[in-house]
Chains A and B, each alone.
Chain A
Protein backbone atom coordinates (compact mmCIF):
# COMPACT_ATOMS: atom_id res chain seq x y z
CA UNK A 1 0.00 0.00 0.00
CA UNK A 2 2.60 2.51 1.11
CA UNK A 3 4.81 1.40 -1.71
CA UNK A 4 2.08 1.91 -4.27
CA UNK A 5 1.33 5.32 -2.88
CA UNK A 6 5.01 6.25 -2.95
CA UNK A 7 5.36 5.01 -6.50
CA UNK A 8 2.44 7.12 -7.61
CA UNK A 9 3.59 10.23 -5.78
CA UNK A 10 7.32 10.24 -6.21
CA UNK A 11 8.25 8.20 -9.23
CA UNK A 12 6.28 9.96 -12.00
CA UNK A 13 8.66 12.90 -11.96
CA UNK A 14 11.40 11.01 -13.72
CA UNK A 15 11.94 7.33 -14.22
CA UNK A 16 15.47 6.24 -14.78
CA UNK A 17 15.58 2.89 -16.38
CA UNK A 18 18.08 0.10 -16.25
CA UNK A 19 17.66 -2.55 -18.88
CA UNK A 20 18.30 -6.21 -18.02
CA UNK A 21 18.41 -8.81 -20.76
CA UNK A 22 17.89 -12.24 -19.21
CA UNK A 23 18.18 -14.20 -22.43
CA UNK A 24 16.04 -12.31 -24.89
CA UNK A 25 16.42 -12.62 -28.64
CA UNK A 26 17.12 -8.87 -28.86
CA UNK A 27 13.70 -8.14 -30.37
CA UNK A 28 12.35 -6.57 -27.21
CA UNK A 29 15.62 -4.71 -26.63
CA UNK A 30 15.36 -3.08 -30.03
CA UNK A 31 11.77 -2.06 -29.32
CA UNK A 32 12.86 -0.55 -26.01
CA UNK A 33 15.51 1.48 -27.83
CA UNK A 34 12.88 2.42 -30.41
CA UNK A 35 10.68 3.76 -27.63
CA UNK A 36 13.47 6.15 -26.67
CA UNK A 37 13.88 7.60 -30.18
CA UNK A 38 12.38 11.03 -30.98
CA UNK A 39 9.48 9.43 -32.85
CA UNK A 40 8.02 7.77 -29.75
CA UNK A 41 9.98 9.92 -27.34
CA UNK A 42 9.66 8.28 -23.98
CA UNK A 43 12.02 10.95 -22.70
CA UNK A 44 9.17 13.44 -22.48
CA UNK A 45 8.03 11.47 -19.42
CA UNK A 46 11.48 11.84 -17.91
CA UNK A 47 12.50 8.32 -18.86
CA UNK A 48 16.17 7.81 -19.41
CA UNK A 49 18.35 4.76 -19.82
CA UNK A 50 21.13 4.63 -17.27
CA UNK A 51 24.19 2.47 -17.14
CA UNK A 52 23.99 1.23 -13.57
CA UNK A 53 21.15 -0.26 -11.53
CA UNK A 54 22.18 1.94 -8.60
CA UNK A 55 21.08 5.02 -10.53
CA UNK A 56 17.82 3.48 -11.66
CA UNK A 57 14.21 3.54 -10.48
CA UNK A 58 12.97 0.99 -12.94
CA UNK A 59 14.28 -2.37 -14.06
CA UNK A 60 13.26 -3.34 -17.57
CA UNK A 61 13.49 -7.11 -17.82
CA UNK A 62 13.32 -8.72 -21.24
CA UNK A 63 13.62 -12.33 -22.19
CA UNK A 64 12.85 -15.60 -20.42
CA UNK A 65 14.60 -16.05 -17.10
CA UNK A 66 17.42 -18.40 -17.98
CA UNK A 67 19.22 -20.36 -15.32
CA UNK A 68 22.46 -18.53 -16.07
CA UNK A 69 20.91 -15.07 -15.84
CA UNK A 70 18.72 -15.59 -12.77
CA UNK A 71 21.34 -14.81 -10.06
CA UNK A 72 22.54 -11.76 -11.98
CA UNK A 73 18.99 -10.49 -12.41
CA UNK A 74 18.41 -10.97 -8.71
CA UNK A 75 21.54 -8.98 -7.89
CA UNK A 76 20.55 -6.21 -10.30
CA UNK A 77 17.14 -6.05 -8.64
CA UNK A 78 18.70 -5.80 -5.20
CA UNK A 79 21.01 -3.04 -6.39
CA UNK A 80 18.13 -0.78 -7.41
CA UNK A 81 17.26 1.59 -4.56
CA UNK A 82 13.69 1.60 -3.21
CA UNK A 83 11.05 2.47 -4.31
CA UNK A 84 11.50 0.53 -7.49
CA UNK A 85 9.47 -0.69 -10.37
CA UNK A 86 10.06 -3.80 -12.42
CA UNK A 87 8.71 -3.98 -15.94
CA UNK A 88 8.58 -7.28 -17.79
CA UNK A 89 8.83 -6.53 -21.50
CA UNK A 90 7.70 -9.14 -23.99
CA UNK A 91 5.95 -12.49 -23.84
CA UNK A 92 9.09 -14.23 -22.64
CA UNK A 93 9.46 -12.03 -19.59
CA UNK A 94 5.75 -12.13 -18.75
CA UNK A 95 5.17 -15.85 -18.89
CA UNK A 96 8.23 -17.57 -20.29
CA UNK A 97 7.00 -17.34 -23.85
CA UNK A 98 7.78 -20.24 -26.09
CA UNK A 99 10.43 -21.41 -23.65
CA UNK A 100 8.25 -21.61 -20.57
CA UNK A 101 9.05 -25.28 -19.95
CA UNK A 102 12.54 -25.59 -21.38
CA UNK A 103 15.21 -27.18 -19.22
CA UNK A 104 17.36 -24.05 -18.98
CA UNK A 105 14.55 -21.55 -18.45
CA UNK A 106 12.95 -20.96 -15.07
CA UNK A 107 9.93 -19.22 -16.57
CA UNK A 108 8.91 -15.59 -16.65
CA UNK A 109 10.77 -12.83 -14.86
CA UNK A 110 8.37 -13.11 -11.92
CA UNK A 111 9.86 -16.48 -11.00
CA UNK A 112 12.94 -14.68 -9.70
CA UNK A 113 12.04 -11.05 -9.02
CA UNK A 114 8.70 -9.42 -8.20
CA UNK A 115 7.29 -7.78 -11.32
CA UNK A 116 5.01 -4.74 -11.13
CA UNK A 117 4.04 -4.34 -14.73
CA UNK A 118 3.84 -6.73 -17.64
CA UNK A 119 3.90 -5.71 -21.28
CA UNK A 120 3.06 -8.79 -23.39
CA UNK A 121 3.92 -8.87 -27.06
CA UNK A 122 6.44 -10.60 -29.26
CA UNK A 123 8.00 -8.10 -29.39
CA UNK A 124 5.63 -5.48 -27.94
CA UNK A 125 5.16 -2.48 -30.18
CA UNK A 126 6.85 0.68 -28.95
CA UNK A 127 3.33 2.00 -28.40
CA UNK A 128 2.57 -0.98 -26.17
CA UNK A 129 5.66 -0.24 -24.07
CA UNK A 130 4.67 3.43 -23.91
CA UNK A 131 1.18 2.37 -22.87
CA UNK A 132 2.65 0.25 -20.10
CA UNK A 133 4.77 3.13 -18.89
CA UNK A 134 1.84 5.53 -19.07
CA UNK A 135 -0.34 3.07 -17.15
CA UNK A 136 2.31 2.72 -14.49
CA UNK A 137 2.52 6.49 -14.22
CA UNK A 138 -1.26 6.76 -13.98
CA UNK A 139 -1.70 8.62 -17.28
CA UNK A 140 -3.85 5.95 -18.90
CA UNK A 141 -5.79 2.98 -17.61
CA UNK A 142 -5.25 -0.64 -18.52
CA UNK A 143 -7.42 -2.14 -21.20
CA UNK A 144 -7.31 -5.87 -20.73
CA UNK A 145 -9.58 -6.69 -17.79
CA UNK A 146 -12.36 -7.67 -20.17
CA UNK A 147 -10.39 -10.77 -21.11
CA UNK A 148 -11.21 -12.51 -17.89
CA UNK A 149 -14.90 -12.86 -18.70
CA UNK A 150 -15.90 -16.37 -19.67
CA UNK A 151 -17.46 -16.49 -23.09
CA UNK A 152 -20.13 -19.06 -23.65
CA UNK A 153 -21.68 -20.31 -26.80
CA UNK A 154 -25.35 -19.37 -26.94
CA UNK A 155 -26.24 -22.72 -28.51
CA UNK A 156 -26.72 -24.04 -24.97
CA UNK A 157 -30.11 -22.39 -24.76
CA UNK A 158 -31.24 -23.36 -28.23
CA UNK A 159 -30.53 -26.96 -27.36
CA UNK A 160 -32.46 -27.05 -24.14
CA UNK A 161 -35.65 -26.13 -25.97
CA UNK A 162 -36.64 -29.48 -27.47
CA UNK A 163 -37.97 -31.45 -24.47
CA UNK A 164 -40.90 -29.12 -23.97
CA UNK A 165 -41.44 -28.49 -27.63
CA UNK A 166 -41.83 -32.13 -28.40
CA UNK A 167 -44.59 -32.33 -25.84
CA UNK A 168 -46.47 -29.37 -27.27
CA UNK A 169 -46.08 -30.65 -30.79
CA UNK A 170 -47.47 -33.98 -29.75
CA UNK A 171 -50.52 -32.32 -28.29
CA UNK A 172 -51.11 -30.41 -31.52
Chain B
Protein backbone atom coordinates (compact mmCIF):
# COMPACT_ATOMS: atom_id res chain seq x y z
CA UNK B 1 0.00 0.00 0.00
CA UNK B 2 2.76 2.38 1.05
CA UNK B 3 4.80 1.48 -2.04
CA UNK B 4 1.83 2.11 -4.32
CA UNK B 5 1.32 5.50 -2.69
CA UNK B 6 4.96 6.36 -3.23
CA UNK B 7 4.80 5.34 -6.87
CA UNK B 8 1.67 7.41 -7.44
CA UNK B 9 3.22 10.42 -5.76
CA UNK B 10 6.36 10.16 -7.86
CA UNK B 11 4.25 9.83 -10.98
CA UNK B 12 2.26 12.92 -10.04
CA UNK B 13 5.44 14.99 -9.52
CA UNK B 14 6.69 13.88 -12.92
CA UNK B 15 3.40 14.90 -14.54
CA UNK B 16 3.58 18.26 -12.78
CA UNK B 17 7.13 18.75 -14.06
CA UNK B 18 5.99 17.95 -17.58
CA UNK B 19 3.18 20.48 -17.29
CA UNK B 20 5.62 23.13 -16.04
CA UNK B 21 7.86 22.44 -19.02
CA UNK B 22 4.93 22.74 -21.41
CA UNK B 23 3.81 26.12 -20.12
CA UNK B 24 6.51 28.39 -21.67
CA UNK B 25 6.14 26.69 -25.02
CA UNK B 26 8.93 27.01 -27.57
CA UNK B 27 11.58 29.50 -26.49
CA UNK B 28 14.31 28.99 -29.08
CA UNK B 29 14.94 31.92 -31.41
CA UNK B 30 14.69 31.11 -35.09
CA UNK B 31 17.68 33.43 -35.41
CA UNK B 32 19.95 32.59 -38.34
CA UNK B 33 16.91 31.93 -40.51
CA UNK B 34 14.90 34.94 -39.39
CA UNK B 35 16.30 38.39 -38.58
CA UNK B 36 16.52 39.43 -34.96
CA UNK B 37 16.97 43.12 -34.30
CA UNK B 38 19.00 44.19 -31.30
CA UNK B 39 17.42 45.98 -28.38
CA UNK B 40 17.05 49.71 -28.03
CA UNK B 41 20.34 51.40 -27.17
CA UNK B 42 22.49 48.68 -28.67
CA UNK B 43 25.84 49.92 -29.93
CA UNK B 44 26.93 48.33 -33.15
CA UNK B 45 29.59 49.26 -35.65
CA UNK B 46 30.46 53.00 -35.58
CA UNK B 47 29.77 54.59 -38.93
CA UNK B 48 31.18 57.90 -40.08
CA UNK B 49 29.15 60.31 -42.15
CA UNK B 50 31.74 61.87 -44.44
CA UNK B 51 29.55 64.84 -45.25
CA UNK B 52 29.30 65.91 -41.62
CA UNK B 53 32.88 65.16 -40.56
CA UNK B 54 35.20 68.14 -40.23
CA UNK B 55 38.31 66.03 -39.65
CA UNK B 56 39.09 67.38 -36.20
CA UNK B 57 40.45 64.02 -35.00
CA UNK B 58 38.65 64.04 -31.65
CA UNK B 59 37.52 60.47 -32.20
CA UNK B 60 41.08 59.27 -32.78
CA UNK B 61 42.10 61.06 -29.62
CA UNK B 62 39.66 59.28 -27.31
CA UNK B 63 39.51 55.84 -28.92
CA UNK B 64 40.70 53.37 -26.24
CA UNK B 65 41.73 50.76 -28.79
CA UNK B 66 43.41 53.41 -30.96
CA UNK B 67 41.81 52.07 -34.10
CA UNK B 68 41.24 55.37 -35.89
CA UNK B 69 44.20 56.50 -37.94
CA UNK B 70 44.33 59.93 -39.51
CA UNK B 71 46.50 60.56 -42.52
CA UNK B 72 46.61 63.72 -44.58
CA UNK B 73 46.71 62.43 -48.11
CA UNK B 74 47.17 65.85 -49.65
CA UNK B 75 46.38 69.43 -48.75
CA UNK B 76 42.65 69.05 -49.14
CA UNK B 77 42.02 65.40 -48.34
CA UNK B 78 42.22 63.89 -44.89
CA UNK B 79 41.88 60.12 -44.72
CA UNK B 80 40.35 58.47 -41.66
CA UNK B 81 41.06 54.75 -41.49
CA UNK B 82 38.96 52.76 -39.04
CA UNK B 83 40.52 49.39 -38.17
CA UNK B 84 37.24 47.92 -37.01
CA UNK B 85 38.83 44.58 -36.21
CA UNK B 86 39.74 45.72 -32.73
CA UNK B 87 36.82 48.04 -32.09
CA UNK B 88 35.25 47.56 -28.68
CA UNK B 89 32.03 49.39 -29.55
CA UNK B 90 32.35 51.67 -26.53
CA UNK B 91 30.83 54.65 -28.34
CA UNK B 92 33.35 57.21 -27.10
CA UNK B 93 33.97 58.45 -30.65
CA UNK B 94 30.28 59.08 -31.23
CA UNK B 95 30.04 60.79 -27.85
CA UNK B 96 32.94 63.16 -28.46
CA UNK B 97 32.22 64.04 -32.11
CA UNK B 98 31.29 67.73 -32.22
CA UNK B 99 29.35 67.41 -35.45
CA UNK B 100 27.55 64.17 -34.67
CA UNK B 101 29.19 62.62 -37.70
CA UNK B 102 29.89 59.27 -36.04
CA UNK B 103 26.88 57.19 -35.28
CA UNK B 104 26.78 53.83 -33.58
CA UNK B 105 24.87 51.75 -36.09
CA UNK B 106 22.94 48.65 -35.16
CA UNK B 107 25.02 46.30 -37.26
CA UNK B 108 26.30 43.32 -35.36
CA UNK B 109 26.54 40.53 -37.95
CA UNK B 110 30.22 41.19 -38.51
CA UNK B 111 31.60 37.68 -38.75
CA UNK B 112 34.00 37.33 -41.61
CA UNK B 113 36.71 35.02 -42.86
CA UNK B 114 39.11 37.83 -43.79
CA UNK B 115 39.07 40.38 -41.05
CA UNK B 116 42.01 42.43 -42.24
CA UNK B 117 40.28 43.14 -45.54
CA UNK B 118 36.66 43.39 -44.55
CA UNK B 119 36.82 45.21 -41.27
CA UNK B 120 38.49 48.36 -42.51
CA UNK B 121 36.60 51.56 -43.10
CA UNK B 122 38.36 54.20 -45.14
CA UNK B 123 36.81 57.63 -45.23
CA UNK B 124 38.12 60.50 -47.32
CA UNK B 125 37.25 63.81 -45.76
CA UNK B 126 37.48 66.91 -47.84
CA UNK B 127 39.25 69.63 -45.92
CA UNK B 128 37.78 72.62 -47.66
CA UNK B 129 39.41 75.98 -48.19
CA UNK B 130 37.74 77.75 -45.28
CA UNK B 131 40.55 78.38 -42.85
CA UNK B 132 38.24 78.69 -39.89
CA UNK B 133 35.97 75.67 -40.15
CA UNK B 134 37.49 73.51 -42.85
CA UNK B 135 34.18 73.42 -44.66
CA UNK B 136 34.11 73.73 -48.41
CA UNK B 137 32.19 76.69 -49.70
CA UNK B 138 31.55 78.43 -52.96
CA UNK B 139 34.13 81.17 -53.34
CA UNK B 140 32.86 84.71 -53.89
CA UNK B 141 32.96 86.16 -57.35
CA UNK B 142 35.53 88.74 -58.32
CA UNK B 143 32.94 91.51 -58.06
CA UNK B 144 32.08 90.44 -54.52
CA UNK B 145 35.73 90.59 -53.64
CA UNK B 146 36.09 94.05 -55.03
CA UNK B 147 33.31 95.20 -52.75
CA UNK B 148 35.14 93.78 -49.76
CA UNK B 149 36.69 96.59 -47.71
CA UNK B 150 40.46 96.68 -47.97
CA UNK B 151 40.59 94.30 -50.85
CA UNK B 152 43.97 93.43 -52.21
CA UNK B 153 44.66 90.62 -54.57
CA UNK B 154 47.19 88.98 -52.26
CA UNK B 155 45.04 88.90 -49.14
CA UNK B 156 41.97 87.14 -50.40
CA UNK B 157 40.00 85.95 -47.43
CA UNK B 158 39.87 82.20 -47.58
CA UNK B 159 37.01 81.83 -45.16
CA UNK B 160 33.44 81.02 -45.93
CA UNK B 161 30.73 83.67 -45.38
CA UNK B 162 30.10 84.06 -41.64
CA UNK B 163 26.41 83.16 -41.82
CA UNK B 164 27.32 79.75 -43.16
CA UNK B 165 30.56 79.11 -41.31
CA UNK B 166 30.61 76.22 -38.89
CA UNK B 167 32.78 78.02 -36.41
CA UNK B 168 30.61 80.75 -35.04
CA UNK B 169 32.60 83.80 -34.01
CA UNK B 170 29.70 86.17 -33.54
CA UNK B 171 28.34 86.14 -29.98
CA UNK B 172 24.85 87.14 -31.16
CA UNK B 173 24.24 83.82 -32.86
CA UNK B 174 24.84 81.77 -29.76
CA UNK B 175 22.93 78.70 -30.95
CA UNK B 176 25.70 76.78 -32.60
CA UNK B 177 23.45 74.04 -33.91
CA UNK B 178 21.66 76.51 -36.16
CA UNK B 179 24.72 78.02 -37.69
CA UNK B 180 25.98 75.27 -40.00
CA UNK B 181 23.41 75.59 -42.74
CA UNK B 182 23.45 73.50 -45.84
CA UNK B 183 24.06 76.53 -48.03
CA UNK B 184 27.63 76.76 -46.84
CA UNK B 185 28.69 73.61 -48.55
CA UNK B 186 27.00 74.29 -51.84
Which residues of A are in contact with B by a Cβ distance under 8 Å? Answer: 38-41, 44, 88, 91-92, 94-98, 100-101, 108, 110, 116-122, 124-125, 127-136, 139-140, 142-145, 147-148, 150-156, 158-159, 161-162, 165-166, 169-170
Q: Which residue of the partner chain B has the closest CB to A116? A: B113
Count residues of chain B with CB under 8 A from any CB of chain A.
54
Number of A-B pairs, beta carbon distance below 8 Å:
177
Which residues of B are in contact with A by a Cβ distance under 8 Å? Answer: 27-29, 31-33, 36, 38, 48, 50-51, 53, 64-66, 76-77, 83-90, 107-113, 115, 117-126, 128-129, 135-136, 138-139, 141-143, 185-186
- B interface majority secondary structure: loop
Given contacts A39-B28, A121-B110, A131-B111, contact A98 B64 (CB under 8 A): yes
B51 in contact with A95 (CB, 8 Å): no
Measured CA separation A170–B144 after assembly (Å): 11
A145 in contact with B118 (CB, 8 Å): yes
Partner pick for A158 among B66, B115, B136, B143, CB 8 A cutoff: B136
User: Contacts of A129 on B, CB cut-off 8 Å?
Assistant: 111
Partner pick for A152 among B50, B87, B111, CB 8 A cutoff: B50
B88 in contact with A134 (CB, 8 Å): no
Measured CA separation A125–B64 after assembly (Å): 21
User: Contacts of A153 on B, CB cut-off 8 Å?
Assistant: 50-51, 53, 124-126
